[in-house]
Structure formats: C-alpha cells, structure tokens
Amino acid sequence: MNNQKPLLNQRALITGAGQGIGRAIAVKLAEMGAKILVNDINEKSSLETIQEIKNKGGFALFSQFSVADYDQVQEKVKGLIKELGGIEILVNNAGINRDQILARMSPEQWQEVISVNLNGAFNCARAVIRAMVKEHYGRIINISSVVAHLGRIGQANYSASKAGIEGLTRSLALELASFGITVNAVAPGLIETEMTQALPEAQLQEIISRIPVGRAGKPEEVAELVGFLALPKSGYITGQVIHLNGGLYLS
C-alpha cells in the first residue's frame, strides 16, 4: 500500500458530492489516491467538485442520477462498474430536508425525504454489492446525523430517515462481513454547509450554544473520518455509528 496514497486506484462513488460534506469527502478521497465518481443531481456544482479534484491532480467523473430512482441507480452504477472495472468504496451522502411539524407535514414532504435519504442509500448499496462481493472487498460508509438520536422539532421525516440509515448500516454489516466488506455510518452534528447556512441566525446560535466545543464542525472534519473508514486497514471496524458533533450528543 502506498502510504502517501493509501486508496491508490480504488474507485469511490460519492452521492450528493456537488457541495458541502459530499464535496469535501470527494476531495479527501481523491487526495488519498482514489478515482472519484461524483454523483449529484446538480451538474454545475458537481463539475466544480470535479475541477477542484483535477486541479489537485486527481481523477474524477460525473454521473448524474437521482438516488431515489431505483432503476436509474442500477443502470447508471452498472455502467460505471463496467467502465471502470469496479467500485470499492461507496459513500451514501445524498440527503435533503423538508422541515415541517408533523401536524402540518404533507405525505409528499415525508416521502420525498425518505426516498432520497433512506431509499437512496438502499438503492446505491444494492447496486454495488455484487461487484464488492465478487472482489471480496469493499467499504460502504453511510452519512447519518445526530438528529437520528436527539430528534428535532419539525424534522420527523429527516430524523426517521437517518435512524433508518443506521439500522440499514448494522444489518448490512452483518450480511457482508464474511465478504471482506465493512459497513459503517458517520453521524455529524452541526456542520458548516449550505443546508445549515439556511438556518435563521438565532436558531444557529442556539444550537452552537449547546455544543461543548463552542462551534460548528467543518465538512473537512467529516471527510477525515470517512477517509479513515475507507482505508484497507480499517477492516476490523464494521456496523458502527461514529459520532462527530463536538459533544452535542452529550449536552
């Protein structure tokens, strides 16, 4: 293994990689030597991610599909596997929120979040598993949230989707352990992303006041943890949910 590029020539599919945490993960894994498959529905932001990777000497391709569309995911990912010869790393990062208290939440607001956040993780995992089993190796990393554990007013749909992600993580870890495939989840707290920047300032400061380290996290900090879990030497870690929230979960 190349110590400078420990993921050299491995192929990594990162969903929702057009911005925020997904972009930071894509850039980090590229720096570690992986060939990056950037997925997002936003072509413009995805191409910006790809350009950042290429500017640093990395390899990246864009694959536009909705993770919520099972048939589209299977078709696109099958094509990527055929083109590149496999996918060793999957990061299920794509996620949305449609905040509303449950008494006013529409079935569409509920289903849209579940379809992208939870069904999307299933769809993508389903698409890569056969290739990973064939190689007897793989790393699947799902992005959850501290909200799966704490709950939050107006986010019943989001909380449920992320709690589901963690259940999926544990069950899939058991199913795939004997094939050299690890499955873990990372549960970030408040991270400086486009999604959190849309919060009202008063709400943002209220959350920060409850974080023991006194600040929001950075996407790059999430990416560092994902990079560690993606390493070949992380093969004894599986079925875990690792929290990254500055102590918010303890407060």
Tell me, yes or no, if 158 is annotated catalytic. yes
Per-residue pLDDT tens over the stretch 35-44: 999 999 999 9
- CATH architecture assigned to 11-190+223-242: 3-Layer(aba) Sandwich (3.40)
pLDDT value for 203: 85
Considering the candidates 137, 158, 236, 249, report the single residue annotated as catalytic. Answer: 158
Per-residue pLDDT tens over the stretch 137-189: 999 999 999 999 999 999 999 999 999 999 999 999 999 999 999 999 999 99
Confidence of residue 12 (pLDDT cuts 50, 70, 90): very high
Q: Mean of the per-residue pLDDT values for the chain?
A: 96
pTM of the model: 0.96
pLDDT value for 1: 59
- Of 108, 188, 125, 114, residue with least CA distance to 196: 188
